[in-house]
A and B are shown apart, each in its own frame.
Chain A
């Protein structure tokens, strides 16, 4: 069935370093890949997304890359700050009978040490 695998499950970096989170998806019909940040006690917040017709997208310190052939996509955070500490989720979405269906990865807990 449809599946999204996310690695690593936990990531600890020093403030100012870069962080990379990787995901793979199984459903070749997936065409939209959002990334969410979830802080303790809050709902997921959309931070960046990419569509299947684009290979890379950047927004300030955050970038996403997509390799459709390999079914891989990644989140890159540069110059990490303590406030980047949170759980990050990747997701893959596909059209499905008039709507769409989104599958989430299991999450990566990012710790940024000051």
Chain B
């Protein structure tokens, strides 16, 4: 039973560029949430997708957007990258009837 997978593992971008991160949920899960984890901090909620729609959103600017596909996989897009966007981006999934989330290994984004 595959867990949550994310790609790529690491990514280096420069300020002003755009980035797309990808996530495949755990088998049987239909809800995907994205989190940003700065070094030495806890994960910060970005948004949650269910049935291909954004259902919840945290305090992140519109530069952060996402998408969920019919197979429940998801993308996180960040436009106009800032140095402060450097972080570990985590994807978590759950079954729609449960709030128990399982995390992927994350994508380490470095903005230079």
Q: What are the residues of chain B within 8 A of A6 when measuring CB–CB? A: 42
Contact of B90 among A44, A99, A107 (CB under 8 A): A44
- B residues 38-62 in Cβ contact with A at 8 Å: 40-45, 48, 50, 55-56, 58
When C-beta atoms are compared, the residue in chain A nearest to B50 turns out to be A99
Q: How far is the CA of A106 from the CA of B37 in the complex (A)?
A: 10
Q: Is the CB of B55 within 8 A of A99?
A: yes
A96 contacts partner chain B, Cβ-Cβ < 8 Å: yes
Q: How far is the CA of A41 from the CA of B37 in the complex (A)?
A: 12
CB distance from B22 to the nearest CB of A (A): 15
A101 contacts partner chain B, Cβ-Cβ < 8 Å: yes
A103 contacts partner chain B, Cβ-Cβ < 8 Å: yes
B66 contacts partner chain A, Cβ-Cβ < 8 Å: no
B72 contacts partner chain A, Cβ-Cβ < 8 Å: no
Contact of A104 among B43, B55, B105 (CB under 8 A): B43
Q: How far is the CA of A100 from the CA of B105 in the complex (A)?
A: 22
Decide yes or no: A34 and B50 within 8 Å by CB, A96-B56, A103-B45, A104-B43 being known contacts.
Answer: no
Q: What are the residues of chain A within 8 A of B58 when measuring CB–CB? A: 101
Main secondary structure of the interface of A (DSSP, over half): strand
> Number of contacting residues on B, CB 8 A?
24
> Number of contacting residues on A, CB 8 A?
28
CB distance from A16 to the nearest CB of B (A): 28
Stretch at the interface among B13-21, B77-85, B96-104: B96-104
Decide yes or no: A45 and B103 within 8 Å by CB, A96-B56, A99-B31, A103-B45 being known contacts.
Answer: yes
Q: Is the CB of B101 within 8 A of A107?
A: no
27 contacts between A and B (CB under 8 A): A6-B42, A34-B100, A36-B103, A41-B105, A42-B106, A43-B4, A43-B90, A43-B103, A43-B105, A43-B106, A46-B101, A46-B103, A49-B100, A91-B42, A96-B56, A98-B55, A99-B31, A99-B55, A101-B58, A102-B99, A103-B45, A104-B35, A104-B42, A104-B43, A106-B40, A107-B40, A107-B41
